[in-house]
Amino acid sequence: MNWKAINFDWNKAKAFLVAAEEKSFSAAAKSLKVTQSTLGRQVAALEEELGVVLFERVGKGIEITPSGLDLLEFVKEMASSANKLSLAANGKSMEITGCVAITSSEVVSAFVLPRFIEKLRQIQPRITIEIISSNDTKDLRRREADIAIRNQPTEHPDLISRKIKETYAYLYATKEFIEKHGSSIETNTLNGIVFMGMPDNSKWIQALRSIGLMVDESNFPIVTESHLVHWSIMQQGMAIGAMPQIAVLGDKNIQRVFSDLPGIPIETWVVSHRELKTNKRIRYVYDQLIEYLNQLHKHQ
């Protein structure tokens, strides 16, 4: 960029633009609230700086020259950019467009984000949300996503994170499953009670035992890495499954089991890269997502 070439006064360009639009120096001066002689000097000074004649006098009026017409479109673009700058500086430019990519776990992607996106698009219909559903952590620094919902904080200096109110995961089953195994569930007799498991159940068994359920590997005859498959099998009445409470709000066929036992705490963090500080679209979605999740957690 040749910064030395950008040396003319915007006020002179604005005087030229308004005079061209009004087709009169007097009308332009009135619009800009300056004297006609001041406006005339500004236009003359611009002509001298650019080395072209911008207007010709025709009777009592003025007519823009071919050279002036060539330059007018550039000055209109400058005026449009200046207006956008002014609106942005004053917080008045509210139209937000474009795509924001949000990555989260399968469960959050399937059961939480859709409701958020529906609400968001009622306010900003020109925003597009890309959902990157993955239980693996995406690298925000490489722009694999713009915003991430995670269960642990980040200490990397290039990432920005906010903690949401803590939520809990509980054990759920269908009404039919509870009716079939009700006595065993009530007495915490777990022999033969099927729980959905993961390929490595060691941490899951430890977590369940920490809240008072003495399970072992025999309770997990069905295992899957996919939380959505896990939940689908539970919904078909085949097993007890775990799910964050915010994901099951409104599901009338699902009930908590072992309701006297405490839930398993889950931390939630909303994370973004440094572009959050300069990209209005990402900032808007980030703030709206935090507000939505905090409100959702209040209804647990």
Give the domain range for residue 64: 3-89
Regarding whether 114 and 228 lie in a shared domain, the answer is yes
Regarding whether 140 and 68 lie in a shared domain, the answer is no
| DSSP line for 119-172 | HHHHH-TTEEEEEEE-SSPP-GGGTS-SEEEESS----TTEEEEEEEEEEEEEE
Q: Say how far apart CA 52 and CA 46 lie, in whole Å.
A: 9
Strand positions, DSSP E, the chain? 55-58, 61-64, 98-104, 127-133, 147-150, 159-174, 196-197, 222-223, 241-244, 254-256, 264-273
Q: Say how far apart CA 174 and CA 240 lie, in whole Å.
A: 8
- Which residue matches tokens 């009622």? 122
Token pair belonging to 165 = 């109110």
Q: Say how far apart CA 62 and CA 178 lie, in whole Å.
A: 88
CA torsion angle 83 88 94 95 (round to 10): 60
Q: Which of 58, 89, 120 is the last residue of a domain?
A: 89
User: pLDDT at position 6, please?
Assistant: 59
Identify the segments of the chain with pLDDT beneath 70: 1-8, 84-95, 187-188, 298-300
User: pLDDT at position 87, please?
Assistant: 52
Regarding whether 58 and 108 lie in a shared domain, the answer is no
Regarding whether 288 and 141 lie in a shared domain, the answer is yes
CATH number at residue 143: 3.40.190.290
Q: Say how far apart CA 70 and CA 169 lie, in whole Å.
A: 66
Interval 13-65: pLDDT, tens: 899 999 988 888 998 888 888 899 998 999 999 888 888 999 988 877 888 99
Amino acid letter, 158? D
- The neighbour count for residue 208, using CB atoms within 10 Å, is 23
Regarding whether 177 and 58 lie in a shared domain, the answer is no
Regarding whether 276 and 209 lie in a shared domain, the answer is yes
Q: Say how far apart CA 206 and CA 201 lie, in whole Å.
A: 8
Per the structure, how many domains does the chain have?
A: 2
User: pLDDT at position 61, please?
Assistant: 80
- Which residue matches tokens 């409100």? 295
* Spacing of C-alpha 157 from chain mean position: 20
Q: Say how far apart CA 108 and CA 85 lie, in whole Å.
A: 37
Q: Which of 48, 63, 89 is the last residue of a domain?
A: 89
User: pLDDT at position 93, please?
Assistant: 47
Threshold 0.75, pTM exceeds: no
Report the DSSP beta bridge partners of residue 270: 149, 162
Contact criterion met (CB below 8 Å) for 72 and 17: yes
Regarding whether 144 and 68 lie in a shared domain, the answer is no
Regarding whether 298 and 153 lie in a shared domain, the answer is yes
Please work out, in degrees rounded to the nearest 5, the angle formed at the alpha carbon of residue 247 by the alpha carbons of 244 and 253: 105
Regarding whether 149 and 42 lie in a shared domain, the answer is no
Closest C-alpha among 298, 208, 220 to residue 262: 208
Q: Which of 89, 110, 128 is the last residue of a domain?
A: 89
Regarding whether 72 and 112 lie in a shared domain, the answer is no
Regarding whether 129 and 62 lie in a shared domain, the answer is no
